Amino acid sequence: MNQSAGTTSAPSDLLEYIGSSDDAIKVADRIDWARLPRQIAVIMDGNGRWANQRNLNRIEGHQAGIGAVREVVETAARAGIGALTLYAFSVENWKRPQSEIDALMELLKQYLARELPTLLRHSIRFNAIGRLDGLPINVQRDIEAATKATAHSTGMRFVIALNYGGRSEIVDALHHVLADIGKGKIKATEIDEQKLVEYLYTHDLPELDLLIRTSGELRISNFLLYQIAYAEIWVTDKLWPDFGRLDLLRAIVDFQRRERRYGNVDTDDA
């Protein structure tokens, strides 16, 4: 693909945020700003290992992970990404020690309270996906409050996946489809791949183009199973707390280098 095909230059808002180091200028120059991924999803992994390497406890690793969340959200919004979806707590994560679960819930509450002004400043629209009714009630309330407070934002969609599982999402969609068939809202014969998308938690988000995973594991971990069908996957060895603004931009550069064929053949080979 032609890297010089960019029709627009880097947004000044982003340049201001990433600074003018050689690395920052180089990565911004390599991005085709007219061809950004529509939605980026991230499996934020490695907080525990990051803490372990520093003789800290796992909770301190998650605390450090919040810094990376803030940077990635702001970088993506300033870059002009349509939607950013972060995997913060899976349906399987309830197996962790209660003290770690409590700390993660508390960090989420703190994050929402502290970051709301930043979300509003950048016109970011927040919501959460997953089996939200299984979360502690005070967390549900804070999610609702942040969702409502940013409901009129017209910029990037920022989604946190909580008590989320890709299989649960498909099961929930199926129940919803069956209920609608029962009510006569749709006919069973109307269900096709596209129709099912309308029943997913992510029904109102743009197409998922890029899935990022930190800390080197080559797994999907039950994340956005239906949505990743044609997504490009980008894995870095960096642990989540070390993932920063330029890393997100590097993932975009790599995404743009790839040739996406959607099952088709290269026209030169045809």
- Which residues contact ligand FPP (rule: CB under 6 A)? 44-49, 62, 65-66, 69, 86, 88, 93, 104, 107-108, 111, 160
Q: How far is the CB of 168 from ligand FPP (least distance, A)?
A: 16
Measured CA to CA, the distance from residue 15 to residue 25 in angstroms comes to 8
Q: How far is the CB of 90 from ligand FPP (least distance, A)?
A: 7
94 vs 230, which CB is nearer to ligand FPP?
A: 94
Measured CA to CA, the distance from residue 9 to residue 106 in angstroms comes to 40
159 vs 208, which CB is nearer to ligand FPP?
A: 159
- Residues 6 or more apart whose CB falls under 8 angstroms from that of 41 comprise 84, 85, 86, 87, 208, 210, 211, 212, 223, 224, 227, 228, 231
Amino acid at the residue 117: P
9 vs 221, which CB is nearer to ligand FPP?
A: 221
67 vs 82, which CB is nearer to ligand FPP?
A: 67
CA angle 168, 62, 219 (to 5 degrees): 45
With CB atoms as reference, the residue minimizing the distance to ligand FPP is 48
Q: How far is the CB of 251 from ligand FPP (least distance, A)?
A: 17
> Could you give the residue numbers annotated as active site?
45, 93
Residues in the chain: 270
3 vs 221, which CB is nearer to ligand FPP?
A: 221
- Residues 6 or more apart whose CB falls under 8 angstroms from that of 105 comprise 135, 136, 139
Q: How far is the CB of 16 from ligand FPP (least distance, A)?
A: 24
Q: Which residues of 190-217 are buried (b: 16+ CB within 10 A; e: fewer)?
A: ebeeeeeeebbbbeebeebbbbbbbbee
- Residues 6 or more apart whose CB falls under 8 angstroms from that of 8 comprise 33, 34
Q: How far is the CB of 121 from ligand FPP (least distance, A)?
A: 18
Q: How many CB atoms lie within 10 A of CB 144?
A: 13
Residue 66 dihedral angles phi and psi, to the nearest 5°: -60, -35
